[in-house]
Structure 1
Amino acid sequence: MVKKYLVALAIAVFAAACGSTEKLSDQYSGFDLGNYKNYDFFEITGPENPEPGFEENIKFLESEISEALASRGLSQSSDKPELKLNLGIVVEDKVQTRTTSLATDPFMYSGQRSYTWESREVPVNTYKEGTLTMHIVDAATNTVVWAGTASRVLPKKNEKKQKAAQEAVAELFEQIDN
């Protein structure tokens, strides 16, 4: 049984809220969803102790992808699907920094009428960055026929996370359609 590899921290599905998308490789430029009739998802495994809402978030993400595929004429089928979708989600804690400048950061007194100043990075904020990777696998040949990824800063407010996930899935499918 093929298992889905998933690395998830904290709020897993919200990695779908990623903003920029890109194809991992141009080798997938000839891929056409119109050549397929059905699909299914690989089994998703997550952390041993998932955050509250983990399963619901994954189901929401799968639902958004299913809607996008249905609008392109594919149906979900667990009985010999032509395509299998593999989702990878990573959420990382990040620190936003800025570089010190003479205009905003004072000289430091170092004693005996001596002052010093040096440029350095200072932290100003923390945030979470999420990355969603989607591999579309041709089940007959067991080869990846398309891969894409989306990354962005995750919203902090719960009410904005589902909308961000919808936008990220839409961006991935824009890449597929191009």
Structure 2
Amino acid sequence: MKTIKLLSVLFVTAIMASCSSIRVVSDYDDSVDFSQYKTYGYFKEGIDKAEISDLDKKRILKAIETELQNKGFTKSDNPTLLVNIFTKATQQVDVNQWNNGFGWGYGYGYGWGPGFWGGSYTSVSTSTEGTLYIDLIDVNKKELVWQGVGTGVLTLDRERKQERINEFVTEIMKQFPPQKKK
């Protein structure tokens, strides 16, 4: 029985560890020379529409600001790029069932026989999967030039929230600026 409990804990831990990864994709306008952009600001109207708490908006914008500054960008009142964000969240329910029974037993047409019957175990877990969209808009053209999207499991733990948001933003911003294939 202890072995089964240990295996259950290991199984759930493995599932949760696999959920901690962030899946990222990005898209961009091939005709844009991204080296022309040096400054950024925020698209306030768009950010205000994001359906998350103001605290989480601040956390996300702080993480984006850090990443852009690490890439040599400067925040400006007269930016060449505007940053916009929006989010989606979905509830995930995972049901896992396994049996540990083996041997012979009574059944129609089978008769009696030796054996040991174990049990059936079911594990149900829920998590929230979030998607963060980061849009970069050319101020002069007034059009989207780059979009990064990250999807992964969210945390409600206040102590880990900034850390998880930083993971999302870092993974997304790794793909900016895009490296054109030669």
Fold shared per TM-score above 0.5: yes
Unaligned runs of 5+ in 1: 1-16, 106-112, 114-121
**TM, length-normalised to structure 1:** 0.66
Query: What does residue 36 of structure 1 align with?
Result: 37
TM-aligned CA deviation for residue 28 of structure 1? 4.2
Q: Which residue of 2 aligns with 1:12?
A: none
Q: 1:171 and 2:171 equivalent?
A: yes
Q: Distance in 1 between matches of 2:144 and 2:138?
A: 6
Identity %: 25
- Partners of 1:131 and 1:152 lie apart in 2 by 7
* TM-score scaled by length of structure 2: 0.64
Counterpart for residue 95 of structure 2: 97
Paired with 1:64 and 1:167, the residues of 2 have a C-alpha distance of 9
Map 1:95-174 onto structure 2 (within 5 A).
95-98=93-96, 100=97, 103=99, 124-174=124-174
Gaps of 5+ in 2: 1-19, 102-107, 109-121
**1:157, 1:59 → 2: CA distance?**
17
For 1:55, the equivalent position in structure 2 comes to: 54
Partner of 2:82: 84
Larger RCO, structures 1/2 (Cα 8 Å, 6+ apart) = 1
Greater helix proportion: 2
Report the CA distance shift for 1:32/1:21 in structure 2 as closer, same or farther (over 3 A). farther
Residue of structure 2 equivalent to 1:20: 23
How many residue pairs align between the two structures?
Answer: 141
Work out which of the two has the higher radius of gyration on C-alpha atoms and give 1 or 2.
2
Give the distance between the partners of 1:165 and 1:61, measured in 2 at CA. Answer: 6
